[in-house]
Structure 1
Amino acid sequence: MNEAYIDLLTNLESLESVVVAFSGGVDSTFLLYACKQVLGDNVIAVTVDSPYIPRWEIEESKELVSLFGVKHHIIKVDIPDNIANNPEDRCYLCKKEIFSNIIKYKNEIDFKYVVDGSNYDDTKDYRPGMRALKELDVRSPLLESKLTKAQIRELSKQQKVPTWNKPAYACLLSRLPYNTQIFTHELRKIELAEKFIMDKGFKGIRVRSFGDTAKIEIFKEDMERFLNYENIKDINEKLIELGYKVVTLDLGGYSMGKMNRSIEERNN
């Protein structure tokens, strides 16, 4: 255990009782594991179930919480009216809505803190949702201990946390262009398209949705395997079946936050 991990455990112990905003990703899973180690039964995982969260991710979150022996509470939310057109500050507005609901639950059960899985790397990227967390006094213990994503993966591996090598994932709204209306049926279409491709063994993928056009992003190291004729034929047919008319491949491969590039360029 390195100094940052010891610092994390000490920090968590001082919080006494926490509600963990739990998505089932690498960061929140490691945080939940660490909270359980030092706080025991004074930990509750809360998962948000909304139209922009894939069904498989909700089910995975249930399995992980059960594995750790932690109480699990699920909050169902609809798409807030103020993000219905996918504004550029969507992440801020969404986080404000979601965490307000989690804080309300925390107050109902008389726990002391809501904590989330933001890590130190999140301070170096376009993350408008971080502002909402600060405004609501949500604690981010991994960030406070300056743990990076790479360190969290390594510590997860050491502690045998099963998500140590799980690919990063983001909500389905990140697949849509900003300033376009959000439709539940389109989110389901994206979810089913990505699940079909992931089930073929491609874990780090995104299906960016532009109306009738799907643009697939995959890891560059998977590109050659992806371009097998039978594979692309199957994927093309499936996505057409789901409702897309044109299916394309981003030759630059997958990289995080491609939809944010125009905002970052404008802000710079």
Structure 2
Amino acid sequence: MANADHLNKISAGVVKVMLSPLLQEKLDNLLKKIEEMEGVLIAFSGGVDSTLLLKAATMTSTRVMAVTASSPTYPEAEIAAAVQLARDLGVQHQIIKTNEMEDPNFTANPTERCYHCKRELFATLRRLASEHALKTIVDGANADDEDDFRPGRRAAREFGVRSPLQEVGLTKDEIRQLARYLHLPNWDKPSMACLSSRIPYGQAITPEKLRQIAAAEDFLCRLGLKEVRVRHHDTIARIEVNPAAFALLIDAAIRVKIVKYFQDLGFTYIVLDLEGFRSGSMNAVLKQEDLHR
């Protein structure tokens, strides 16, 4: 059964944020599902979704292991943050190297790019789960993901990967509420997709492009921006930030710094997307039938 003492301590008022009856029910259902799995290997990115899932697993008596994939498609800072979070939660954690950049099915950047990446990841996780006698592989997909274009979900189905957050109907907003309730330090962390998602479909994914994107986004974050995407259109860098941050970017002194830094990275033109930040904007070119795969 779930760790009753832990739950009672929370309910006794250690955390000031209160849960609605519906959200409390979803949390209880989440803990019950994980408990019934009798050993889980969690695909742990360090984002708020997988962190909540990992935290929930520690609140049960089930065995748990977190695994984080490392590759050029993810910034090193994200890997380091995942390592620290796993350490803080006191769970067994392993970093694995993935080789999607060696797969031409991935680097050609088709619309099914994520399927090829996730297929390799889940195959590796299956081997690890078997080695450690863990019955179930789980990931941090949530209820909102069902309405998005997620070809990686097909790979999850093929490998029997379960998504407990999705199964109990937790949305992104509810996950943030629970993460805050449980004092998780990244409860308000912006969503982070792999760097390859910044490159238009059909344009090759290369290590150089990924380095340019990572450096450009890191530079903007160091200016104080939280939600940032730098879309790579060959010689053009298209910057997406929340409209509230437009004033900062077009400040004369800041604008000059951004232009110089981006040009030093190899971009010729640096543009600000007037629609602002939006996750998955590269999917705007897809046909309607693609979005429902």
**TM-score normalised by L of structure 1:** 0.96
Amino acid at match of 2:259: N
**1:72 matched to which residue of 2?**
93
Give 1:102 deviation, angstroms.
1.0
Identify if the C-alpha distance between structure 1 residues 39 and 227 changes in structure 2 by more than 3 Å, giving closer, same or farther: farther
Q: Which residue of 1 aligns with 2:135?
A: 112
2:66 pairs with 45, 48, 70, which one? 45
- What are the residue-to-residue correspondences of 1:134-213 with 2, within 5 Å? 134-213=157-236
Aligned position for 2:13 = none
1:267 positional shift: 4.4
The amino acid across from 2:209 in the alignment is E
Q: Distance in 2 between matches of 1:39 and 1:117?
A: 20
SS of residue in 2 equivalent to 1:201: coil
> What does residue 220 of structure 1 align with?
243
Contact 2:42 2:65 in 1 (8 A): yes
State the Cα deviation string for residues 172-212 of structure 1 (Å, max 9, x = none): 01000111111101101100110010111111010000111
Map residues 62-101 of structure 1 onto 2, 5 A cutoff.
Answer: 62-78=83-99, 79=101, 80-101=103-124
SS in 1 for 2:69: strand
- The one-letter code matched in structure 1 to 2:61 is L
Q: Does 1:247 align with 2:276?
A: no
Question: Which ranges of 4 or more aligned residues in structure 1 deviate by more than 3 Å?
Answer: 264-268
Determine the C-alpha separation between the residues in 1 that align with 2:53 and 2:96: 19
* 2:12 matched residue in structure 1: none
What letter corresponds to residue 235 of structure 1 in structure 2?
Answer: I
Q: Is the 1:45–1:72 contact (alpha carbons within 8 Å) kept by the matching residues of 2?
A: yes
Shift of the 63–91 alpha-carbon distance from structure 1 to 2, 3 Å rule, reads same
Separation in structure 1 between the aligned mates of residue 151 and residue 261 of structure 2, nearest angstrom: 34
**CA contact under 8 A between 1:12 and 1:39: conserved in structure 2?**
no
Contact 1:126 1:264 in 2 (8 A): no
CA displacement at 1:257 relative to structure 2? 1.0
Q: Give CA deviations for 1:37-74 in whole Å, capped at 9, x if unaligned.
A: 1136x111100001111111111111111110111111
How much has 1:109 moved relative to structure 2? 1.4
Q: C-alpha distance in 2, partners of 1:135/1:26?
A: 25
Identity across aligned pairs (percent)? 40
Among 17, 39, 42, the alignment partner of 1:20 is 42
Give the 3-state SS of the residue equivalent to 1:45 in structure 2: strand
Structure 1 residue 77: deviation in Å? 1.5
Tell me whether 1:10 sits opposite 2:32 in the alignment.
yes
Q: From the CA coordinates, give the structure whose radius of gyration is larger.
A: 2
Q: Which stretch has the larger CA shift, 215-224 or 138-147?
A: 215-224
Cα shift at 1:265: 4.0
* Residue identity matched to 2:79: I
Q: Pairwise mapping of residues 256-267 of structure 1 onto structure 2 (< 5 A)?
A: 256-265=279-288, 267=290
Where do 5+ consecutive residues of structure 1 fail to align? Answer: none
RMSD: 1.3
Unaligned runs of 5+ in 2: 1-18
The answer to whether the Cα contact below 8 Å between 2:98 and 2:120 also exists between their aligned partners in 1 is no
